[in-house]
Structures are given as C-alpha cells and as structure tokens.
Structure 1
C-alpha cells in the first residue's frame, strides 16, 4: 500500500496541518477521525486493514486529516461563538484547501480530467462532521459513510444557538430546507449510508431524528440500525465499512 505524509501551512487555520494519503489511484475518500482524533488514527486503529481491498486495487485513495475538536466541539469551557467560528475555519480548510488538493492528486494519479466526487467517511464525532460536510456541500461530496454519529450541534454546543451553529447542525438546517431546494435533487443523485448500533454507548435516537427529517423531505439515504450487540467501537465500524463500502462504490 502506497502511503504518503504531508504537512502544509493552512491559511484558513493559520497553522500547519498534517495528513496522510493511502493508495495510488481511485476515487478520493476523506476520512475524518473520531473525537479529538489525529490524522494517523486511520492507520493506528487498523482501519487501513479494512479498507485495504479497495486501496490496494486502486479503487480508492484515502486522505486522512486532523480534527480541531479540542478547540471547537470538545472545548465546552470556551466561548461558544469563538468555538463555532473556529469550526467554520476548519470547514473552510477542508472545502477550500483539502478538496482542491484531493482533486488534483486524484486527477494526476488516475489520468482524469475530472473525477467522480469525494466520499466522506467518519465514525462517532467523525461521522457528525462527515454528514455535515455531505449535507452542506453536495457539490463536493457525493458519497457519505457515517457510522455511530450524532447529527445535532447540541452535542458540542448544548443549548447555545446562533447562525453558524445552526448551519452546522444537520437536524436543524435540513428540517427547514424547502422541499424544492436544489440540494435535495443533488442528494438524490448521490449515495449516503448512515448506520448506528443499538448496543452500549450508541445514541440511535439522533439517527432516528435525522432519518425522519430525510424521509419528510424526500431525501434518499440508506439508514441502517444494527442490533443490541453492536456497540460504539472499532470492531463494529470495521464490519460496517466492509458492509457498506461496496454499495457506495457501485
């Protein structure tokens, strides 16, 4: 498996950011780590082994990035307006800096003039961020794999609400999206798999809430609930990746 390490200055975040790329060709996949996670978690938690069949075959290239959760969603003692502004900086880092980098690398490695879009993937709070990116920017992200996520910004910001928190809380902005909004047609041309277990440390009610909104808006997504034995941990996320990725890549 080809593995490349990068460290570059981010204008959006005013700091150096690190990431790794796994693979030599294929559809670009953006991996967002779990809460407070780092870019090397994809490898250190052996998610590389689960994705290896698609990476080694040249079907995907996985770009594993850093979060800044410790400054934003996890920083409950910090000023909420500052924290959500900082989170918006991170969103801009992804959309304005990482996405063009991914586009260019995918085109160069595959010999493409264009590419089929980015699959965004995460587990736990990484799934929260992944879903937010997918629903906010279907022009950039046309596939979603969200495992054991929470789809309200209340997880990070409690009862605080402003314009930016609203814009980063899928159950809020999707609930108010007009049924003729052009994004709905875009979502329905994409593929999303959203999964949660019913076992220990899982919070399936958030997924149920999101599913209800999606159904009411006519937004297609594969929402799946696994059993009471399925708990909030890597062993189950490996199984879910193996189950859903063939659908997302088809």
Structure 2
C-alpha cells in the first residue's frame, strides 16, 4: 500500500481490475488531487487489489474465487480501515475507485456503512455474477450491491455521501443507471454524475476525482 499526504481526511482509493497499489499514482489520479494533498486536506491510501486471486482466477472453482474476495474485504476492513481510524482519530473514511475499483469502493461502503462517510465510484460496475459461472452462494449475493442493497436497513446508509460518476459513452453507464435506480427505490441520497461524450478511461477519472474530493467538508 502507498500513502500520500501527511494529514487530512482519510481516503481509501482502490485500483482498477487486477491493478497494483501504485497504479493510481502511475496513471496520474494522485497527481490530480495534489492540491488537496499538499494542503493537508486529505491523506490517500492506495492498497493492492487481489482480483487476480479472486474474480479473475478462472483456474479455480468459483467458491474459491468468492472466498478470496471475502478475505480481501476483511483485510481492507480490519488491517486498513480500522487502523486508519485508530491512527488518524477519524470515525469514518472516504472510499473511492475507478472502473472495477468503483465496485470495490461501493461494495465496501454498502457492506460497512458505519465505517464510510463518502463513496466516490468513477465508472464502476456492480454485478459480479459474470465472474461466478452460474455458481450460487450467499457470499456472492452479499458482495453484489445490486442484489443485497434493496434489503439493507442500516441507517448509516442514509448519512453517506454517495457519488456515481459516469458518462453517456461509458461502458459502465447502464450499470450506474441500475445502481441509481436501486438507490432511488430506497430513497438513499446520492448524486448520479453523468458527463457527456467521455470514454471509460483515465482522463475523465482525473477530472472527477478532485471534483468529488471537493465535496468533503473539511474542518
């Protein structure tokens, strides 16, 4: 994991599909937030993904894939977020990610709403069934936001700042519309930010990320 910034509100920033801990730095996403970092307004934590060992490992049974992801979720919760809260004294963190990192951000936020104040998904997709080859298991259901979100009752969901960033040209546009629909059904406040004529790629995410950081109320 890489950490950027010396102080400020903690932001956990997930990489894209099978991405490394240094991907968001290498692709300029950290650079797009340099003002917030230099001013001590945010501290950004970039963990490694385990997508290669979970969703994308077609060499093992789907049960092993989803269990690898469950282990990753526990690691992020207990080894990253809980330690951030302890070390920074903040009650909650912000989570963010682009593409499949947007899935990780949304899934973590909705599974652990008591730990998350802001969720920024940029061109995320939220259905993991296509990775599971038709296999059915409760752990798949409870890591598929479009499936479990309609039944959640945790009041912290209604206190979270939720942003779904996408574009009318985004390959994940429909996925964001679906999640927007579920959130609307539950009357969960959120912002569906649909930008025009932009591709599913780093240039739009470098525009979105600092914009969404600006929505955090800094003390």
Aligned position for 2:46: 64
1:27–1:117: 8 Å Cα contact kept in structure 2?
no
Residue 174 (str. 1) matches residue 114 (str. 2): no
Distance 2:126 2:6 in 1: 33
Residue 240 (str. 1) matches residue 208 (str. 2): yes
2:15–2:48: 8 Å Cα contact kept in structure 1?
yes
Instruction: Report the secondary structure of 1:219's partner residue.
Output: coil
Say if 1:158 and 1:216 are closer, same or farther in 2 by CA, change over 3 A.
farther
Aligned length: 218
Distance 1:225 1:160 in 2: 33
Aligned position for 1:40: 22
CA RMSD of aligned residues (A): 1.4
Aligned position for 2:189: 220
Instruction: Report the secondary structure of 2:126's partner residue.
Output: coil
Larger relative contact order, structure 1 or 2 (CA cutoff 8 Å, min sep 6): 2
Distance 1:204 1:159 in 2: 24
TM-score normalised by L of structure 2: 0.94
1:47–1:238: 8 Å Cα contact kept in structure 2?
yes
Out of 73, 84, 95, the position equivalent to 2:66 is 84
Could you tell me how far 1:77 is from its partner in structure 2?
3.8
Could you tell me how far 1:135 is from its partner in structure 2?
0.5
1:127–1:145: 8 Å Cα contact kept in structure 2?
yes
Say if 1:155 and 1:30 are closer, same or farther in 2 by CA, change over 3 A.
farther
2:91–2:115: 8 Å Cα contact kept in structure 1?
no
Residue 150 (str. 1) matches residue 111 (str. 2): no
Distance 2:180 2:117 in 1: 18
Residue 206 (str. 1) matches residue 175 (str. 2): yes
Could you tell me how far 1:69 is from its partner in structure 2?
0.2
Could you tell me how far 1:116 is from its partner in structure 2?
4.3
Aligned position for 1:96: 78
TM-score normalised by L of structure 1: 0.83
Out of 115, 121, 126, the position equivalent to 2:101 is 126
Distance 1:168 1:73 in 2: 12
> What are structure 1's unaligned runs of at least 5 residues?
1-18, 107-113
Which 4+ stretches in 1 moved above 3 angstroms? none
